[in-house]
Amino acid sequence: MIEDSPSALAERYGLIRVGLRPRFGKYLADTWRRRNFARTLARYRIQSENERNRLGMAWVVVKPLLNALIYGLVFGLILDNDSRPENFIAFLLVGVFVFEYFGNSIGQGSKAIISNTRLVRSLSFPRILLPIAVVLEQLYRMVPILGVLGVLLVLFGEPVRWSWLLIVPIMLMMSFFNAGVAMIVARMSVHLRDIKQVIPVVSRIMFYTSGIFYSVDLILAQRPDLLLIVHLTPVYEFISLSRNALLADFPVDPSLWLWAGLWAVGTFVFGVIFFWRAEERYGRD
Amino acid sequence: MDVTDEEQLMLDSGTRPTIIVDDVHVRYRTYASGKPSEGGKSLASRSTRGVREVHALKGVSFTAFQGESIGVIGHNGSGKSTLLRTVAGLTPASSGVVYAEDQPALLGVNAALLNELSGDKNVRLGGLALGFSEAEMREKYGSIVEFAGLEEFIQYPMRTYSSGMSARLRFAIAASKNHSILLIDEALSVGDKKFRKKSEQRIKEMQKAAGTVMLVSHSISTILEACSRVLWIDKGNLRMNGDPKEVCEAYLGHANQ
């Protein structure tokens, strides 16, 4: 009986395939409808971490402060050379604090699915909410971090200026970029667990090449080709724009805004599509 | 597809199929250092790369119809829970297809939420993941907590709960929504006697509202009472599919050998 083939039968009664990834438009609509899940998850994660540590929320700020202290000691005092710009401490603080957002997003993003396998297996919801929740969580953490950064900058002699407000659109662009990166690494580590081990190395490379404790322009002054490449790296661009907004004497080429925006939109769109294309794969071991 | 005579009769009489499972295989890959997935050690085979493959379902086919409640029986690790998770679309089939009228909902004791968060936060998150709005959750919150009977403990992290308490909470969250295809994995055996009575009552309500119910249970009496058809899963194969009394007798006869 040919008409009894399962697919024909399913079609006749209007049954749909289970476990197939939904069409892209429907997927986006589902995700948008449940956006509160990502927001609430991000908020609860921060709360529960704070409850368990004695210093609580203070750790969010203390960790990048300690990092800045270490790099300040190593690169400011021990390895003293002429690659350092004016007001090195303020320059370093902005670099370390802004990089923190990227480093945490890529690190936690790589674990967004694989450390939530049990949750993924027990409830069906658009999985993309998990890497989004990771980046939202990091964004919420950036609020006190940036507050402390502002206080430190004033302490180290930077004037408070209206341009500080530009940090809001910069962080917004960076959030889209980070979310795209988190989606990409979240899917990649599902296919290949080893990715999780490589992420800290990638993060480290980004840290050392993004000119956080040295001025790229001073070091690469003789190599315009390399300088151009570094100027086009996204993390460098977000850090440079932040320095431009927060530091009194840090001019940047206005085209950086355009490049940063393109990176943000491009990475985010690619990340969403890349993540969605394996939707039915998540939860399988 | 192998269609049993019974299923063919239902089709011929024009009864609407709600779930079609067509030659479904499920293979898990787990890493030797990780925790073994469900499906059991007996089915595990070791490959040279330290990756173990577990063949949990080996070609299962059946069709479920509107108004049916189908029991699933079998030994531990035979693939019952895997079958339900595959029908729910939570565990993808390695090959074969599952068709359903609507997104099936799985009520299971193994359903995990976030252990580091308090019960109260898990209720809200679970509801949002099920697709309730914040306003709906505010409305339902009280009845979920009351149903779970956890009013005093709801502020503590779920990792401090006993297994019975967390199972009750998970059931209460999942049962807060009416579903048209309902898959129940051992949820009837959750908790103490009082809770079991309450949850049986709730499941009956949902059975009436739902088109089709599938039920995994180790309790043969529950299966005989609640089901109009029974599937016997043995080592990943569908061994029998038919009249509850016949299948259960064959299963018990096999188990006592």
pLDDT tens string B1-18: 567 777 888 888 778 888
| Parent domain of B214 | 67-255
Residue B123's closest CA among B106, B148, B90? Answer: B148
The pLDDT score that the predictor gives to residue B41 is: 46
Residue B230's closest CA among B88, B75, B68, B86? Answer: B68
Instruction: Say yes or no to pLDDT of B49 above 60.
Output: no
**Model confidence at A180, in pLDDT bands (50, 70, 90)?**
very high
Q: Does B83 touch chain A (CB under 8 A)?
A: no
Tokens of B230: 């029974």
Residue B4 or residue B233, greater confidence: B233
Residue A118 or residue B37, greater confidence: A118
- Cβ of B125 and A40 within 8 Å? yes
The pLDDT score that the predictor gives to residue B109 is: 56
Nearest CA in chain A to B63: A6
Q: Which residues of B touch A19 (CB under 8 A)?
A: 86, 89-90, 92-93, 98
The pLDDT score that the predictor gives to residue A57 is: 74
Nearest CA in chain A to B135: A36
- Rg, chain B, Cα only: 19
CATH code where residue B138 lies = 3.40.50.300
Separation in Å, CA of A5 to nearest CA in chain B: 7
- Collapsing DSSP to helix, strand or coil, A38 comes out as helix
Residue range A229-241: average pLDDT? 88
Which of B:124-183 have CB within 8 Å of A?
Answer: 124-126, 128-131, 133-134, 157, 170
Q: Does A7 touch chain B (CB under 8 A)?
A: yes
| Residue B223 domain flag | yes
Residues B75 and B42: beta-carbon distance below 8 Å: no
Structural domain count, chain B: 1
Q: Which residues of A touch B85 (CB under 8 A)?
A: 121
- CA angle (A179, A182, A186) in 5-degree steps: 140
Dist CA A37 CA B48 (whole Å): 41
Q: Which residues of B touch A193 (CB under 8 A)?
A: 31
- Cβ of B99 and A17 within 8 Å? yes
Instruction: Say yes or no to pLDDT of B31 above 80.
Output: no
The pLDDT score that the predictor gives to residue A222 is: 80
Lowest mean pLDDT among A74-78, A265-269, B250-254: A74-78
The pLDDT score that the predictor gives to residue A219 is: 75
The pLDDT score that the predictor gives to residue A17 is: 86
The pLDDT score that the predictor gives to residue A167 is: 94
Mutation choice for A interface testing from B128, B181, B212 by most A CBs within 10 A: B128
Q: Does A2 touch chain B (CB under 8 A)?
A: no
The pLDDT score that the predictor gives to residue B189 is: 65
**What contacts B210, CB < 8 A, 6 or more positions away?**
B178, B179, B180, B181, B182
Q: Does B93 touch chain A (CB under 8 A)?
A: yes
Nearest to A283 among B3, B87, B90 (CB): B90
**Model confidence at B38, in pLDDT bands (50, 70, 90)?**
very low
Considering chain A, what percentage of its residues have pLDDT values greater than 90?
Answer: 41
List pLDDT tens digits, range A23-63: 899 999 999 999 999 999 999 888 887 777 777 777 778 88
Mutation choice for A interface testing from B28, B90, B132 by most A CBs within 10 A: B90
Q: Which residues of B touch A4 (CB under 8 A)?
A: 1, 3, 11
- Cβ of A19 and B11 within 8 Å? no
Residue range B191-214: average pLDDT? 76
Dist CA B252 CA B221 (whole Å): 12
CA of A175: how far to CAs of A112, A115, A246, B5, in Å? 16, 22, 18, 58
Instruction: Say yes or no to pLDDT of B89 above 60.
Output: yes
Return phi, psi of residue A155, to 5°.
Answer: -60, -35
Q: Where are the domains of chain A?
A: 24-281
The pLDDT score that the predictor gives to residue B167 is: 79
Mean pLDDT across chain B, nearest whole number? 81
- Cβ of A16 and B99 within 8 Å? yes
Look up residue B92 and give its amino acid: P
| Residue B71 domain flag | yes
What is the b/e burial string over B65-100, where b = at least 16 CB atoms within 10 angstroms of the residue's CB?
A: bbebbbbbbbbebbbbbbbbbbbbbbbbbbebbbbb
**What contacts A134, CB < 8 A, 6 or more positions away?**
A42, A105, A108, A109, A112, A182, A186
Burial (CB count <10 Å: 0-12, 13-18, 19+), residue B188: buried
Residue range B25-30: average pLDDT? 83
CA of B176: how far to CAs of A188, A229, B165, in Å? 35, 55, 17
| Residue B201 domain flag | yes
Lowest mean pLDDT among A115-124, A182-191, B201-210, B212-221: B201-210
Residues A143 and A97: beta-carbon distance below 8 Å: no
Which of A:10-49 have CB within 8 Å of B?
Answer: 10, 13-20, 33-34, 36-37, 40-41, 44, 47-48
DSSP label at A163?
Answer: G
Which of B:11-30 have CB within 8 Å of A?
Answer: 11, 16-20, 22, 28-30
User: For chain B, how are helix, strand and coil distributed in percent, rounded to 5?
Assistant: 40, 30, 35
Instruction: Say yes or no to pLDDT of B186 above 60.
Output: yes
Helix boundaries (H) for chain A: 6-12, 24-33, 35-52, 58-71, 88-109, 117-122, 129-155, 167-191, 195-209, 216-219, 224-232, 234-246, 255-276
Nearest CA in chain A to B132: A34
Nearest to A124 among B90, B101, B157 (CB): B90
The pLDDT score that the predictor gives to residue B47 is: 46
Residues B156 and A51: beta-carbon distance below 8 Å: no
Return phi, psi of residue B208, to 5°.
Answer: -65, -40
Q: Which residues of A touch B54 (CB under 8 A)?
A: none
List pLDDT tens digits, range B132-160: 888 888 888 998 888 888 888 888 888 88
**Model confidence at B112, in pLDDT bands (50, 70, 90)?**
low
Mean pLDDT across chain A, nearest whole number? 86
Which stretch of DSSP H or E encloses residue B205?
Answer: helix B193-209
Residue range A159-170: average pLDDT? 92
Residue B144's closest CA among B164, B116, B167, B174? Answer: B174
Residue range A221-234: average pLDDT? 81
Separation in Å, CA of A125 to nearest CA in chain B: 6
The pLDDT score that the predictor gives to residue B46 is: 46
Q: Residue B62's Cα: distance from chain center in Å?
A: 16
Candidate ranges A203-212, A256-265, B80-89; pick with highest mean pLDDT: A256-265
The pLDDT score that the predictor gives to residue B111 is: 54
Nearest to A19 among B61, B93, B102 (CB): B93
The pLDDT score that the predictor gives to residue A270 is: 97
**Model confidence at B39, in pLDDT bands (50, 70, 90)?**
very low
- Cβ of B31 and A13 within 8 Å? no
